[in-house]
Amino acid sequence: MRALRLPGWKSEPELVEVAEPTPGPGQVVVKIGAAGACHSDLHLMHDFEAGAVPWNPPFTLGHENAGWVHALGDGVTGLEVGQPVAVYGPWGCGTCARCRVGVDPYCENPAGAPVPGGGGGLGLDGGMADYLLVPDARHIVPLPAGLDPVQAAPLTDAGLTPYHAIRRSWPKLGPTSTAVVIGVGGLGHVGVQILKATTAARVIAVDTREEALRLAEECGADLALRSGAETAQEIRKVTGGRGADVIVDCVGADATLALGVAAARTVGDLTIVGIGGGTLPVGFFSVPYEVSIQTTYWGSRPELIEVLELGARGMIHPKATTFALEDAMTAYRKMADGTLEGRAVVVP
Ligand SMILES: [Zn+2]
Ligand SMILES: [Zn+2]
């Protein structure tokens, strides 16, 4: 079968022929219907080096995967060959306190996981291939009726990650509240939709790119602001001076974090989703009173079920641009130069 493999750190992926996987006991092989291309894959190719994460190349890229059950290992029950499924991406040990409640990204026994702190496309072979070996059937989530793999694949990360980030702030997102999404890329455009679908907040989207602001408006943003020196003041102005109750920063750079704090209302939430690597001084006088600043990483298995339900009911709809597996590098190049709209999805 074909697979888009990352041969080493600081290298370009290569499309190569590899052996088709066979499932061991308790495992599942999925025929890939769609694999999302994530901005974090660019960091894997260009920025990471040995020691940055607890695993190393070579492996097949692709950590947003959906398709159809292809083969079941011994002992797997409750799934049928041909059934459409999504793959829950973070693969923890399955037995620690976090994994038991479906929060594999925060697995506390990484030595007991298939790969410590990773998953398919993150240390182990991912879904930019014809088939994907899923090491435990518990990572398979059947697709609700009406959701196809091209829509489902981006929901497993570009949907799940902002959903998890927004869900924690639901109590602060009543009808008089304002939410700000910074960065309207793969995650941010779904984040805008999730806010509109699950809360009554007014939604403001912020980006540096004109096309991204148009996409935000298509996704239901009430206001789309070109990011600049005045952005925080503009947000304060349209919120009667109060500031935004919830800020979801899908970039995570120094400048966007500073904007988040400058635009935050007292008792607000600032959630750092993007892995831009920025930092923020936090102290008694540097942030508004009782602002909660939190990172989040990916989401839980129960939340994935909820996100897929929103997708199946048409309440969220990732803007997917499809590419053949042979053209996956074109997708990444467009992502790198900022000309990709929404999410790139590779269909092998
Ligand atoms: Zn990702
Ligand atoms: Zn665990």
Ligand 2 center from residue 300 Cα (angstroms)? 12
Rounded distance between C-alpha atoms, residue 166 and residue 100, angstroms? 22
In the chain, which residues have pLDDT < 70?
Answer: none
Ligand 2 center from residue 113 Cα (angstroms)? 7
Looking at residue 32, its pLDDT comes to 98
Ligand 1 center from residue 123 Cα (angstroms)? 13
Ligand 1 center from residue 40 Cα (angstroms)? 5
The reported pTM is: 0.96
Ligand 1 center from residue 225 Cα (angstroms)? 25
Looking at residue 236, its pLDDT comes to 98
Ligand 1 center from residue 284 Cα (angstroms)? 34
Ligand 1 center from residue 324 Cα (angstroms)? 19
Phi, psi values for residue 214, rounded to 5°: -65, -40
SS3 85: strand
Strands, E assignment, 73-164: 84-87, 119-120, 123-124, 131-134, 140-142
Ligand 2 center from residue 98 Cα (angstroms)? 6
Looking at residue 326, its pLDDT comes to 97
Smallest Cα–Cα separation from 113: which of 93, 133, 136, 89? 93
Looking at residue 342, its pLDDT comes to 84
Ligand 2 center from residue 111 Cα (angstroms)? 9
Smallest Cα–Cα separation from 99: which of 300, 305, 304, 273? 300
Ligand 1 center from residue 298 Cα (angstroms)? 8
Looking at residue 76, its pLDDT comes to 98
Which ligand has its closest atom nearest to the C-alpha of 190? 1
Ligand 2 center from residue 101 Cα (angstroms)? 10
Helices of type H across 22-76: 39-46
Mean pLDDT of the chain: 97
Ligand 2 center from residue 313 Cα (angstroms)? 32
Q: Give whole-number Cα distances, 323 to 9, 51, 320, in Å.
A: 24, 32, 10
SS3 127: coil
Looking at residue 78, its pLDDT comes to 97
Smallest Cα–Cα separation from 346: which of 195, 130, 77? 130
Rounded distance between C-alpha atoms, residue 1 and residue 321, angstroms? 23
